[in-house]
Structure 1
Amino acid sequence: MACYKKFTIDQQTDVLKTFNGMDSKNEQDLHLQRLMECFQIKRRRGQLEKRKASFKFFCLRNNDRVAVCRQAFMNLHVITQKRVYRITTLLAQGLTPKDKRGLNVKSHCISGDICKQIHEHISSFPTKSTHYGQNEISYLDARLNVKIMYQLFKSLYPDSTVKYEFYLKYFHENFNLRFGRPQIDVCSSCEELETKLKNPHLSQTVKLTVEGELQVHKRRSKKFYNELRATRELCKSDETVCGLVFDFMQNLPLPHIPVQEIFYMRQIWVYAFCVTNLKDNSTRMYVYSEGTAKKGANEVCSFLLDYITECVPETAKTLLLFSDSCPGQNKNHTLIRFCLGLVESGRFENIIQRFPIRGHSFLDCDRTFGLFKRSIKKADRIYHPMEYVELMANAKSNITVKVIRTEDIKDFNKWWPTLYKKTVLSAESYGRNVPRQQKQSFTPASFMEFKYLQNGSLQTSEFIGGLKKHTFQLKQPGIRPNPSKIFDALDIAYPEKKVPINKHKVDAVRNLLKYIPEENEDCRKFYEDYLTWPTTMEEN
């Protein structure tokens, strides 16, 4: 076409770019109308001529108007003939184009004012946030539901025509709220401070002090989750860093059957220890039945050593550990010396162990435990530990389950006293200038963060990221074994290969046999073995 030859490729691009760069359709239409000229028809071709006006079209070329044909005008601006017809008709009438799309409101449409009323009404209900966890979740009162909220809305706005279906849809699309809140492992400090704030007899000064204490407490609790989140990202980007989360699951009963009498009888426990790798969220479960081993520091150290040996690559030189502060399992002298041994052996250059504030200890392992419990609820009857193992193995994709034998548990409790001290003052406590009451002795329960150093010393903080540090030299003086063989001297924790169980539990197993199917020989043998098991009057 001859009109196109008036414009180079770059000039054609500029025409379209200028047109598309305008903010609104009204601005575009005004621009197009200014590039048109309207004339009266000078010569009609017959009486059937319907045109009322004639038009000329122009395009901008370096800010100069260049006459073009109608087709070139449409193609250069990439517009339709219908749009050109509308603008030319308005130009002939002496009117400017105005965009009227979306202005025809349907009669059944809910107005913005009503939506605002619904939003304000839902927002008026008090909520409670999750006590711990990485994601903030708000809960409404457990006595509420959406239907009750809708009824309250109708009583507040009796003339409103909003139906329950729309109220429900608006609730789901605009709010992330849940009903009820499980009051499990509630932090005693939070509960105490929040109760004080509700006291109407407190003065404003005291309330401000309590609010400050509560805010500081919550900030300290969130530091654990901030470190957990940062470690997860660091593990994905740095091959030299490994982050592990570990914890014991709630004891699983055997047999698991729908018989009321079971609730009044002692059952055999199945223990499950979880280790989660923060890099890929993979999980390894260590499963064993009662009498195979206990749930103490020996077991935790044995499982961690096994996991590090089999699952942690040699390229990882920094180990970051996260767990709750259970003193018998995760926060004790034995586990601390085990970590010192890992550093001294050269397996890791440094290890950092962090603990959450009590009551704010929701971990990655707890999510895995939730999946297991769902699977267990679907199982009608469970008679054997291997049935639990199978359920765990199928609960999620990236999980492995290892069944533990008694000989797999090493005696770390007897191993560490020959290599490390138990009681020692911090390096900052030595000297006559330090008052006696300010001297700090090593007590694991006093600290929330441990940094294990290569010289056999341990640096601690009362809070995660705390400025006040205490350094303890725990290495025993004298001759030491080859660092690379520091764990070779470990003995088996239970050389008898059977851990005694409570005598009353053995009597209960005898009564449980009537619920075990005769045709299942493996299950029958599993319970019959407990009838001759070594017993004790102590609870495991």
Structure 2
Amino acid sequence: MENDQQESSNNVDNELREIFGPESEEDPFQDSGSDYQPSGRNSTASSTDLIDILGDENQSPNNITSEITPVQSKPRKRVRQTSKWKKNVRKEKRSRGEEYINVKGVLVPPKQIDTACECNCQRKCHEKILPSQQIILFNSFYALGNYNLQSSFLFSLIKVMPKKTCHTASAVSRRSNSRVYQVPNCDGLHVTVCKEFFKKLFGVSDGRLSRVLKNKLAIPIPPTDQRGNHVPSNKTPENKIQIVKNFINKFPKYESHYTLHKSTNRMFLAPDLGLPKLIALYKEETPPSEQVSNFMFRKVFNEQFNLSFHAPITDSCKKCDNFKIKIEAEESSVKKDELNSQRKLHLLKAESARNNFKIDKNRAADDSDLTVIVFDLMKTLPTPVISTGICYYKRQLWTYCLGIHNAHNDEVTMYVWNETIASRGPQEIGSCLLRYIKEKVKTKKLIMYSDQCGGQNRNIKMATLCQYIVAHPDYTVDNIDHKFYVSGHSYLACDQDFGLVEKKKKFYKNIYLPDDWITVIKAARDRNPFNVIKMTKDDFISTKKLENNITNRKVTAEKSKVQWLSIQWLLFNKMHPFILFFKYSNNEDVLFENVDFKKRVSKHWTGIKLDPLYPDGKPISTEKKKDLLDLLPFIPPVHHSFYTSIKDNVSVRNDIDVENDIDSD
């Protein structure tokens, strides 16, 4: 038994390698976890000694980091980069002696040394320190690039000692000590120079030297720059910050099931939580004397944790959830490895589909004869939408919206209709695509992306309609690739478009007619607004004649069974009008299988005229019509005629807002 399980696990691994290729030993998306930060410059012997003297706290501004060290390698939000602040860039340039613009906007020239200037003192300093050595010392000083290191450098070259003689008759002298300025010559020996030569050599002022040497006799340690290093009076104590961390760490965290290795650092909290609720719970549990402000709580949450709030459970992948339960409950290590391999294959398929979309999108930018679109059906929109509570107890009229997103230019077309015109099946979806391709697509090649909803997108009705499009002369397209995202991992571009509609509808409190939804959709995007098309009963076609023109065979040319629910890629070509090419993978290297739908008496697609789907419109159920009429007292009288004229039929079942279609991968 164990051998059979091991063999099954090996088969899955082989399938992974066959479809997706061998996995690299080093994951290019995986964070290395290294805390290494590159230094500003290569360390020299002198600068290393100074760093050892000053300690780790006195580093170059390039190495300045946030006071708060993130718990995880990547926080929820961007951490401030103080080294890129204008004032720090200006400060660093000044320390390096480079040209910079000060706070008043005045251009400060770079530091320069004049080696031709002769010293007039008795020591003849310019003869002791040759011009070439002057340049070396000058460059070495500003190469340190740090105020504290430069102060330490000056500190080490100047000796301070009690004065030996007094040249004033006053009992009190302003000078209490003497200074000896020394610099290394070409031979490495320290020679004494005058103060003026020393200042010109390093481009420093009297004030800079006085601040460096102020307490040298009493404290033989180089002073550090204290500007900006004071502790704010309102700084939150570290113990309160730790209480916040401990509170956040108490909540269980979950990994995302959507990706294989992206966002591996991000963890998720329960979907019913949120920052406001988290803060409220924190304030309930923590004594007032130990609480931090709401701002500080959010700062800790965003900068020290990489946490988000999980999407609603209904948005999760059923297959991922199933794998998770089985893996946790499985005791056999062999069986657990097999389940992990199957889960990995599932995630690789999902990621392959997303990567293919990115590749196709880039191809569309380079190929003028290729169009890439994404289409999806928005969740049903209820009508009427009124503030009265009775609305929640009555059946409402559904409005449908199919979004088609052009991946190249982000142009979005929304096809809108209500359930008195048509339903939301594959013929309705196909009718919208038929109109879009005829009016919008002027290229030979078309790639379509959608989810795997079998009742709407992946079925024989859509397949025959695509064969009709590539074969008919009224359409420019002669090759269609229809690719499917994996269920539960379908982040379609249309979802973002629908999100804008959901966001905008909050500003429309009352919606009395289905046409009011068109107003909402048009206003949803300010830049490059959605193109909204209202579908009529004449726009919806029936595929019955197309289906009658073929034989819906269930086996391929190689006599293998066609598994519709596992298909990931469909291909339709003008040169093969009756052959369906398909494969169970989104991988380019996997070969297509094919099935021939042609029968002996099949007509060419161009000879078929499509009939309307609902010539007289689509009636709704009698129960729904009654509920809509009950809502008329809450609807302005000017709109009553629309509801009273709706056709109903007692045999029509109620169309409820649920997803009954079976998805599989």
Q: TM-score, normalised by structure 2?
A: 0.64
For 1:269, what is the secondary structure of its paired residue? strand
Change (3 A) 1:266 1:69: same
Q: 1:195 to 1:473 in 2, by over 3 A?
A: closer
Change (3 A) 1:513 1:100: closer
RMSD: 4.5
Aligned residues: 513
Are 1:491 and 2:620 counterparts?
A: no
Q: Does the 8 Å contact 1:140/1:177 carry over to 2? A: no
**Match of residue 541 from structure 2:** 410
Structure 2 residue corresponding to 1:28, chosen from 150, 163, 166:
150
Q: Does 1:525 align with 2:647?
A: no
In terms of mean alpha carbon deviation, does 38-47 or 239-248 score higher?
38-47
In 2, are the aligned partners of 1:271 and 1:288 still within 8 Å (CA)? yes
Tell me the CA shift for residue 394 of structure 1.
Answer: 0.8
Residue 502, structure 1, aligned to residue 601, structure 2: no
Change (3 A) 1:76 1:295: farther
> Contact 2:553 / 2:597 at 8 angstroms: preserved in 1?
no
Q: If the length of structure 1 is used for normalisation, what is the TM-score?
A: 0.77
Percent of pairs with identical residues: 23
Residue identity opposite 1:517 in structure 2: P
**Residue number in structure 1 paired with 2:220:** 95
2:416 is the alignment partner of 1:287: yes
Change (3 A) 1:168 1:443: closer
List alignment gaps of at least 5 residues for structure 1: 430-438
Matching residue of 1:436? none
Is residue 464–residue 546 contact of structure 2 (8 Å, CA) maintained in 1? no
Q: Residue 400 of structure 1: CA displacement?
A: 1.6
Distance 1:45 1:481 in 2: 122
Tell whether 2:315 aligns with 1:191: no
Residues 6 and 140 of structure 1: is their aligned pair in 2 closer, same or farther, counting only changes over 3 Å?
A: farther
Residue of structure 2 equivalent to 1:444: 564
Tell me how far 1:212 sits from its aligned partner.
4.0
Q: Measure the CA separation in 1 of the matches of 2:609 and 2:165.
A: 111
Match of 1:324 in 2: 451
- 1:368-407 mapped onto 2 (5 Å cutoff): 368-397=497-526, 398=528, 399-407=530-538
The superposition leaves residues 185-224 of structure 1 with CA deviations (integer Å, 9 ceiling, x where unpaired) of: 443323333333444x845554444444434433433333
Question: How far 1:452 moved relative to its partner?
Answer: 3.7
Cα distance in 2 between the residues matched to 1:417 and 1:83:
95
Task: Determine which of 385, 390, 393 is the counterpart of 1:256.
Answer: 385
Give the 3 Å change call, closer, same or farther, for CA 67–230 of structure 1 in structure 2.
farther
2:210 equivalent in structure 1: 85
Residue 403 of structure 1 deviates from its aligned partner by 1.0
- Is the Cα–Cα contact under 8 Å of residues 545 and 608 in structure 2 kept in the other structure? no
Q: How many angstroms apart in 2 are the aligned matches of 1:354 and 1:336? A: 12
Residues 295 and 180 of structure 1: CA distance in aligned 2, closer, same or farther (over 3 Å): closer
Tell me: CA distance 1:123–1:219, structure 2 relative to 1, closer, same or farther (3 Å).
farther
Unmatched runs of 5 consecutive residues or more in structure 2: 1-111, 118-129, 656-665
Larger CA deviation: 456-465 vs 74-83: 74-83
Q: Deviations over 1:267-289 (max 9, x none)?
A: 32211111122234332211112
Q: Shift in Å at residue 536 of structure 1?
A: 6.4
What amino acid is aligned across from residue 305 of structure 1 in structure 2?
A: L
Contact 1:350 1:452 in 2 (8 A): yes
Which letter maps to 1:283? Answer: V
Counterpart of 1:50, as a letter, is: R
* Structural mapping, 1:23-62, within 5 Å: 24-33=146-155, 36=158, 44=167, 47=170, 50-51=174-175, 52-56=177-181
2:251 paired residue number: 125
Corresponding residue for residue 4 of structure 1: 114
Q: Structure 2 vs 1, CA of residues 94 and 405 (structure 1 numbering), >3 Å: closer, same or farther?
A: closer
Aligned to 1:224: 353
Which of 290, 312, 335 is matched with 1:182 structurally? Answer: 312
CA contact (8 A) 2:583 2:593 kept: no
What is the match of residue 584 of structure 2?
462
**Equivalent residues of 2:317, 2:487 under 8 A apart:** yes
Give, in whole Å, the separation in 1 of the partners of 2:414 and 2:645: 25
Tell me if the contact between 2:580 and 2:597 (Cα under 8 Å) persists in the aligned partners: no
Range moving further from structure 2, 80-89 or 488-497: 488-497
| Alignment partner of 1:471 is 2:593 | yes
Shift of 1:141: 6.6
Letter in 2 for 1:225: R
**Following TM superposition, by how much is the alpha carbon of 1:463 offset from its aligned partner in structure 2, in angstroms?**
3.5
Inter-CA distance 137–103: structure 2 relative to 1 (3 Å threshold): closer
Partner residue of 1:537 out of 639, 651, 660? 651
Superposed CA deviations along residues 394-432 of structure 1, whole A, max 9, x for unmatched, are 1122312111122222334423653x65316334x2xxx
Letter in 1 for 2:450: S
Q: What are the Cα deviations for residues 282-338 of structure 1, in whole angstroms up to 9, with x where unaligned?
A: 3221111222223222322232233334444x4x55433221222232111232233
Render the CA deviation track for 1:43-92: whole Å, top value 9, x for unaligned. Answer: 84774762332554769899999998867765775655432222344667
